[in-house]
Structure 1
Amino acid sequence: MTVQTLIITEEFAGERIDKALSSIQPEWSRTQIGNWATDGIVLVNGEQVKPKYKVKLNDEISVDVPDPEILDVVPQNMNLEIVYEDADVLVVNKPRGMVVHPAPGHLNDTLVNGLMHHCTDLSGINGVLRPGIVHRIDKDTSGLLMVAKNDIAHESLVNQLVAKTVTRRYTALVHGHIAHEKGTIDAPIGRDKRDRQKQAVVDKGKHAVTHFRVLDHIGKDFTIVECRLETGRTHQIRVHMNYINFPLAGDPKYGPRKTVEFNGQVLHAGVLGFTHPTTGEYLEFEAPLPEDFTTLLQTLREQQA
């Protein structure tokens, strides 16, 4: 175990201890902190408290953080759709509904499990739970991901992401009729202060830019757009499109309650391009819209006809 000590500032005074600590240390969930308090490993000024305790200004909180659980990721045969592969990188078309990498409580049936069965040479920079993973897309977003097969390739691809030279274009279905042909959303993204499970446009968030262009309209209620990421913040397209009042259809987190029958946001990472880490050649790949996406569009068109 590792003891961490925190001092409560005016910003968090008066909040429940589980809420305050989860805001100060985002990697700790409120449930996790509540369990720790119940177990007696969260002390306020040397005394045990309950999860509902409201912290006071200058409270000294010590947390005896348990050692992380040692997790064993098991290779699984998933018949992945590998779009490209060589000795340094591979590109995979991830299906909607698949989580990219394991996490405590969800160790199996992820893309990483499938990649570990497909090949044994994956970069180790991101550790045992995320071998080879350079960037992610959400569970219910389908489409292309680049994977590094060694550490040199990993560093090259990450540097390209930082330099904003990677091409990432997504197709999305959004609510509403976008009247203009294209636009750019330049708005910083950070954790939503009201809901730590969400991201939001916030004044002190990280720089985030999304370019979009209209591909088609479905009646007056929906617009099909192509979004090009200049940066890669968590939930960026979902947050940005909602910010300009055109939320993604089917999005359970950022969209309206009454939406399409899709069990997730209607979003597909269709185009991915990068410079090969070894050859220096620019490579670009395209994955067509999955069948469930095209079926939904056809259904909506028939309804709007």
Structure 2
Amino acid sequence: MRKNNPSPLLLKFVSEEQILLRDFLKLKGISKRALTAVKFEGGRILVNGAERTVRWMLERHDQVTIEFPPEEIGDGLTPEQGVLSILTEDDSILVVEKPAGQGTIPSRNQPHGTLANTVFGKYLLDQHPATVHVVTRLDTDTSGVVCIAKNRHIHHLMSTQMQQTGFDRRYIAFVRDWILEDAFTIEMPIGRKDGSIIERMVRDDGQYARTDVRVTDRFELNSRRYTAVELQLHTGRTHQIRVHMAHVGHPLLGDDLYGGPCDLIQRQALHCASISFKHPSTNENVTYASELPKDLLSLIPTQTRFQEEYSVNFSG
């Protein structure tokens, strides 16, 4: 492990009457783990510029500044230069569009060329003192929106939000055959398939998983019938959409792992089209969206209901 420089200061302004610093920080979402790190790993808590302990009694209009300690950066994450398609960036979050074929984080099989490698390279150029905290991860062959927290405190806030209220994550997928129902919910537990370290399946002893499915259009191309669906995730299990859709008899086009046909596209036809959540610093509701990439656009005939609903631009 190596450590980066100290994180930037996080400012808090007190509006409450007579409150312990410890209680104030708890109200602001600072975790016990973060406070322990500040105390023992090189951070500081300042009140009006003077270093204080969490037992300090705050007065109205006091200014609290937290200096988080240096973050540890794993030896497996190397900085790399590359192109990032950035949807938004501020001191708290970085939201990008990930292309299909790129891993989100390094793995044994893909130690380089991942989104995290490129983001870390950007951090070094920007002199941003943190490791890469991925909040919403996508499979290698899934394209679309990925949210990254800019430090571990923001990561904690966003992870807590996901556990308590969830993010609104919307995906577009193209699946085998025509789905006759216009909308339905798949609520089936998912677990690892016996004998495989990659493949998942619906199984009674798996983890709870829920996917809402809405049909947006039905197509026929080269004698292949398929359906465009919008999916909303309420849980985030590995391969959740791919497993659920395959289980109900409609695997994703291009998804050979779960039985999808590969004559129209060579990767799973799945795109994270948007995510919505409360911004961890401003508490405002925000939404970030991504347009369909060219390989998925090629699956959509012009003059369709899908084109009208999503205002698809075929010129790009």
Whether these two folds match at TM > 0.5 is: yes
Q: CA deviation at 1:252?
A: 1.7
d(CA) in 1 for partners of 2:208, 2:157: 22
Kindly indicate whether the alpha-carbon contact (under 8 Å) linking 1:123 and 1:154 is maintained by their aligned counterparts in 2.
Answer: no
Name the residue aligned to 1:273. 276
User: For 2:288, which of 277, 285, 291 is the aligned residue?
Assistant: 285
**Partner secondary structure for residue 299 of structure 2:** helix
Deviates more, 1:273-282 or 1:159-168: 159-168
Q: Deviations over 1:175-230 (max 9, x none)?
A: 01111110000000000125332100010100000001000000371000000000
Name the residue aligned to 1:36. none
Q: Deviations over 1:127-166 (max 9, x none)?
A: xxxx211221100000001100011110111112212420
Unaligned runs of 5+ in 2: 1-73, 305-316
Amino acid at match of 2:135: V
Name the residue aligned to 1:41. none
**5 Å matches for 1:75-154?**
75-120=79-124, 121=128, 124=131, 131-154=132-155
d(CA) in 1 for partners of 2:240, 2:92: 28
**Partner secondary structure for residue 119 of structure 1:** helix
Kindly indicate whether the alpha-carbon contact (under 8 Å) linking 2:85 and 2:98 is maintained by their aligned counterparts in 1.
Answer: yes
User: For 2:245, which of 237, 241, 248 is the aligned residue?
Assistant: 241
Task: Describe the shift of the 1:249–1:105 C-alpha distance in structure 2 as closer, same or farther (beyond 3 A).
Answer: closer
Q: CA deviation at 1:72?
A: 4.2
Unaligned runs of 5+ in 1: 1-69, 125-130
**Partner secondary structure for residue 133 of structure 2:** coil
d(CA) in 1 for partners of 2:177, 2:299: 16
Name the residue aligned to 1:55. none
Name the residue aligned to 2:158. 157
**5 Å matches for 1:1-305?**
71-120=75-124, 121=128, 124=131, 131-219=132-220, 221-256=225-260, 258-298=261-301
d(CA) in 2 for partners of 1:201, 1:82: 35
Tell me the TM-score normalised to structure 2 length.
Answer: 0.67
Q: Percent identity?
A: 36
Tell me the TM-score normalised to structure 1 length.
Answer: 0.70
Amino acid at match of 1:269: C
**Partner secondary structure for residue 297 of structure 1:** coil
Q: CA deviation at 1:295?
A: 1.5
d(CA) in 1 for partners of 2:94, 2:262: 35
Number of equivalenced pairs: 224
Kindly indicate whether the alpha-carbon contact (under 8 Å) linking 1:94 and 1:145 is maintained by their aligned counterparts in 2.
Answer: yes
**Partner secondary structure for residue 138 of structure 2:** coil
Name the residue aligned to 2:69. none
Task: Describe the shift of the 1:213–1:188 C-alpha distance in structure 2 as closer, same or farther (beyond 3 A).
Answer: same
**Partner secondary structure for residue 224 of structure 1:** strand
Q: CA deviation at 1:84?
A: 0.5
Name the residue aligned to 1:47. none
Amino acid at match of 1:99: G
Kindly indicate whether the alpha-carbon contact (under 8 Å) linking 2:133 and 2:151 is maintained by their aligned counterparts in 1.
Answer: yes
